[in-house]
Structure 1
Amino acid sequence: MSTHDRSAPDSALQFSVHGLAQQDLAQAQRTRSGRLKMLLVWLVCAAPVIASYFTYYVLRPQGRVNHGDLITPSRPMPADGRLALHDVQGRAVSVAALKGQWLLVSVAGGACAAECERHLYWQRQLREVLGKDKDRLDRVWLVNDGEPPRPAVLPGLSAPGSWVLQADREALSGWLVPAAGQALSAHLYLVDPRGDWMMRWPADADPADIKKDLLRLMKANNSWDEAGR
């Protein structure tokens, strides 16, 4: 066999190896490109909420203090299979139905004692004082003990923008967390339009202070948030 004949298989092998290397390189480039595109899409979707938080908590004038506790990182609402939401008629309610709005949330058992009634009243009043922005905020009572809501408190919760929902106690406790030494029912909680819990007001919060926080947040995200459902 001539020298030329012996070198032919080696050349073919080198060509094959080179071709495979080029394919691997192209595949790696496509993978990096796909990941970059996914990251850009995520940034575009998250940018409005991030911007409103940045405006509210970083670019605020000196001396302005938020009264609620910022939850960092924010905590996403549990999925349907875990939170298991049901309305007062026992119909299943999807987690997705709550998204797209700011949510002012209270948690209490169905008997709704004095603290619960006070929170329901504050929720109603705080939504009203937002004026033209009130349709961007829904008030939500999450019943966490499986008991039916006391009928006497339901008439005030039939207006648009109001939710009374049974929620799985364990899943709820894994999402919303009270301050040290407090019960879950002691606070009002704020959930952003993505469904992320992002603020908790102290148990002894003044409703006037909660109002100030809400007004500032509505103003901070006014450029991107929708008018309401």
Structure 2
Amino acid sequence: MSGSNSSNPAAGSRNIGSNSHDDPVELTIHSLPDPATASAQKRRGRLGMLMVVLVCAAPVVASYFSFYVLKLHGRAIGDLIMPTVDLPAAIDLHDLDGHPVKAESLKGQWLLTVVQDAACDAACEKTLFAQRQLREMFGKDRDKIDKLWLIPDDGAVRPELRKAVTEGVPVTVLRAPRAQIEAWLKPAPGHGLAEHFFVIDPMGRWMLRSPPSPAPLDVKKDLDKLLKANAGWDQPGRP
């Protein structure tokens, strides 16, 4: 009979793609997130972000600690600059060969800075010598300090002087327009920029001005205090 070869449709459907007629149907149930767990994860994320911010802010905190907790103000021989003055990002810096230099490259190290004309007379040479001696006075900490000579004019530097400032640990010699230097660094009233040492911190902020024509030992005493106050985050060598 024509109906003798018919089969049960339900049984046929169970055979397709299955190794067993009796395999149970398995369902996976996903639980909803625990509100308490999600809240804890969010708190940990915020705490991690706060720690990153605190690490980045450490140099600023250290500087303010040195000013207000250790109370260097009033005990410094030179003039503490409060508030500090940031190195202008747009300052037009060039090396002696005329190549542009980014202001950002000066950060990462204490800068013992002088401003002297390219002609560099006897008084200028004496200042550059004192700058070199000052750095050497710091012994094992001297690698935390760079020497910077800013030239506010386009005059030529004598070959013998140029050679002298590159011997040993070289002086970083950069030109910048006088107006831009004067907008950043200021001499004491009645004096000129060339009479001072200016101390720039590793964040690029001018924070100390020596007395006019200072004794090197006096400048060292002030720098000693600043280096000790910031010893926790200051590292030798510019990145």
Q: TM-score range by the shorter chain?
A: 0.7 to 0.9
* Matched residue, 1:124: 132
Shift of 1:60: 5.6
Alpha-carbon deviations, 1:118-149, whole Å to 9, x = none? 21111101111111111111000000012122
Shift of 1:179: 0.6
User: Which consecutive residues of structure 1, in runs of 5 or more, have no partner in the other structure?
Assistant: 1-36
Match of 2:59 among 48, 71, 91: 48
Shift of 1:195: 0.5
* Matched residue, 2:85: 75
User: Which consecutive residues of structure 2, in runs of 5 or more, have no partner in the other structure?
Assistant: 1-47
Shift of 1:216: 2.0
Contact kept in structure 1, 2:119 and 2:157, CA below 8 Å: yes
Contact kept in structure 1, 2:109 and 2:236, CA below 8 Å: no
Task: Percent identity, please.
Answer: 48
Shift of 1:117: 1.1
Alpha-carbon deviations, 1:156-214, whole Å to 9, x = none? 32143520111111111100010101111111100000111111001132111111111
Q: Name the TM-score, length of structure 1 as normaliser.
A: 0.75
The 1:148–1:105 alpha-carbon spacing in structure 2 relative to 1, beyond 3 Å, is same
* Matched residue, 2:209: 200
Match of 1:100 among 78, 100, 108: 108
The 1:39–1:204 alpha-carbon spacing in structure 2 relative to 1, beyond 3 Å, is farther
Letter in 2 for 1:73: P
Shift of 1:220: 1.7
1:38 and 1:153 map into 2 onto residues whose CA distance is 50
Indicate yes or no: 2:168 matched with 1:157.
Answer: no
Letter in 2 for 1:197: W
1:73 and 1:41 map into 2 onto residues whose CA distance is 25
2:49 and 2:156 map into 1 onto residues whose CA distance is 44
* Matched residue, 1:9: none
The 1:58–1:204 alpha-carbon spacing in structure 2 relative to 1, beyond 3 Å, is farther
Contact kept in structure 2, 1:191 and 1:197, CA below 8 Å: yes
The 1:161–1:102 alpha-carbon spacing in structure 2 relative to 1, beyond 3 Å, is farther
Contact kept in structure 2, 1:107 and 1:142, CA below 8 Å: yes
Q: CA RMSD in A?
A: 2.4
Hey, which of these two has a bigger chunk of helix by percent?
Answer: 1
Contact kept in structure 1, 2:59 and 2:203, CA below 8 Å: no
Alpha-carbon deviations, 1:8-52, whole Å to 9, x = none? xxxxxxxxxxxxxxxxxxxxxxxxxxxxx9998666433334324
Contact kept in structure 1, 2:58 and 2:233, CA below 8 Å: no
* Matched residue, 1:59: 70
